[in-house]
Amino acid sequence: MEEMLFYDRMQFAFTVTFHYLFPQLTMGLSLLIVYFKWKFLKTHNEEYNDAAKFWMRIFALNFAMGVVTGIPMEFQFGTNWAKFSELTGGIIGQTLAMEGMFSFFLESSFLGLFLFGEKLLGHKLHFLTGFLVFLGSWMSGFLIIATHSWMQNPVGYEILANGKFVLNNFGALFTNPWLWPSYLHNQAASIVTSSFVVTGIGAFYILSKKNLAFGKMFVKTGVIFGLISSMIVAMPTGDLLAKNVVKHQPVTFAAMEGIFHTEEGGSEIVLIGQPDVQNKKLDNKIAVPNILSFLTYGNWDQEVKGLNEFPEENYPTNISGLYYGYHIMVGLGTIFIGMMFLALVQLFRKKLFETKWLLWAFMFAMPFPYIANTTGWYTAELGRQPWLVYNLMRTNAGASPTVSSGNTLFTFLGFIGLYLLLGMLFLILAGKIIRKGPHPQTH
């Protein structure tokens, strides 16, 4: 059973990690596309319109990859996690079905109209189709996170005699206190990803001295959106989400922060340290006294519970992974704010486009928001373990009892090979779009 559960979890983790590389860009990029199209309507500068259409081509490629990789991921609810689907389908089926409607009908339909209908629709209706693509992508994300939030903090349910979960309050799904901080945090993080990609591609154009007007536009836009969204990720959304974890999952918070033992007189915040789970301590730590208590409770001397306060069977199953995932996310987020702030200063000084080392830094930084988003999701998912539905259903109770570990490993290896090919194809196609540029005649 343990081997089967391991491969079930590894396969789902791999497929969902690869899948989310694409929606995290499209959700943020949809907002920037609406901005570029709005700027065109306001200024009648054709370059803004070309920018909107250029980034929508990148959006469409990412959207297609998201669909291709998302369908096999959802199939696993019926193969590897059939028991979970059987017991909770009455609740999560609501939001997942609605997400499919918004993703495949609203988003994809208006994406086609934006790509091919500009001459037929005119610029104002063309803007409206872009806005509806944005709306569809953000509503799709909202419904996915509503599902995730119910698993983290189950509300509005009752359990029948046969063990099945059913909704007794549909509205509770959307007023879940876990939902809105998670959603806004996630959407702001997706804007960070898109801002770094837009800035990085703009920096590439400036440094290669091609499409210079677009390069400067992309860098300026990406820096402004990037700084605002990076700060929102930290405050207030990240802070609110951390307070939710403290309130609803205190054992998770202790593991995230590496607190093995409750400290009297206020808790320190650990900047660097390596968790020694076996001996229940942090090695080589660098910490600042009392800061964690203040950030969490607004009181320098407030006690923060350590892992020693909770039963070991309720500990997160991968404390080291949870700790590192959380600290990588926070560390990269801090770097993003610093980079974007420095770039904004240079922009106001009218020196950003000549600051080559910073442009190179943005080019090489493009993968790092993807890492931050991924480790952020790992923090959420590893933090919920050993539960599928927090405090109600253990992970081992949701796996399919009839799918062997050998079958799962076989398909897992197949997914690795297939997704490697898909990833290479995506990079080739995206590279062609970027090399061609927003306006092929501009050199």
What is the DSSP secondary structure assignment for residue 441, as one 8-state letter? T
51 phi, psi to nearest 5 deg: -65, -45
Which secondary-structure segment (H or E) carries 394? strand 393-394
Residues 128-160 pLDDT 10s: 999 999 999 999 999 999 999 999 999 999 999
* pLDDT at residue 333, as a whole number: 96
> What average pLDDT does range 110-114 have in this prediction?
88
> What average pLDDT does range 288-306 have in this prediction?
85
Please give the mean pLDDT across all residues of the chain: 92
Size of the chain, expressed as the number of residues it contains? 443
With contact defined as beta carbons under 8 Å apart, do 121 and 129 qualify?
yes
Integer Cα distance of 371 and 199 in angstroms: 17
20 phi, psi to nearest 5 deg: -75, -5
Q: Bridge-partner residues for 276, per DSSP?
A: 281
Tell me the pLDDT band of 9, cut-offs 50, 70 and 90. Answer: very high
Q: Does residue 74 register a pLDDT over 60?
A: yes
What is the token pair recorded at 162? 């046969």
Give the number of C-alpha atoms closer than 13 A to the C-alpha of residue 296, restricted to the C-beta side: 23
> What average pLDDT does range 220-247 have in this prediction?
95
Residues 261-275 pLDDT 10s: 888 777 888 888 899
Q: Does residue 1 register a pLDDT over 70?
A: no
> What average pLDDT does range 327-347 have in this prediction?
96
% of the chain at pLDDT higher than 70: 99
Integer Cα distance of 287 and 379 in angstroms: 21
C-alpha separations of 374 from 63, 126, 205, 369, 429 in Å: 18, 33, 28, 8, 23
* pLDDT at residue 71, as a whole number: 86
Instruction: Give me the torsion for CA of 166, 79, 409, 323, rounded to 10°.
Output: -20
pTM of full prediction above 0.85: yes
Terminus-to-terminus CA distance in the chain, angstroms?
61
Integer Cα distance of 374 and 21 in angstroms: 8
Integer Cα distance of 291 and 17 in angstroms: 33
Residues 185-194 pLDDT 10s: 999 999 999 9
Is the alpha carbon torsion for 313, 315, 316, 320 positive or negative? Answer: negative
With contact defined as beta carbons under 8 Å apart, do 1 and 402 qualify?
no
Q: Does residue 12 register a pLDDT over 60?
A: yes
Is the alpha carbon torsion for 397, 402, 406, 407 positive or negative? Answer: negative
Integer Cα distance of 33 and 197 in angstroms: 13
Tell me the pLDDT band of 442, cut-offs 50, 70 and 90. Answer: very low
Instruction: Give me the torsion for CA of 215, 218, 219, 224, rounded to 10°.
Output: 160
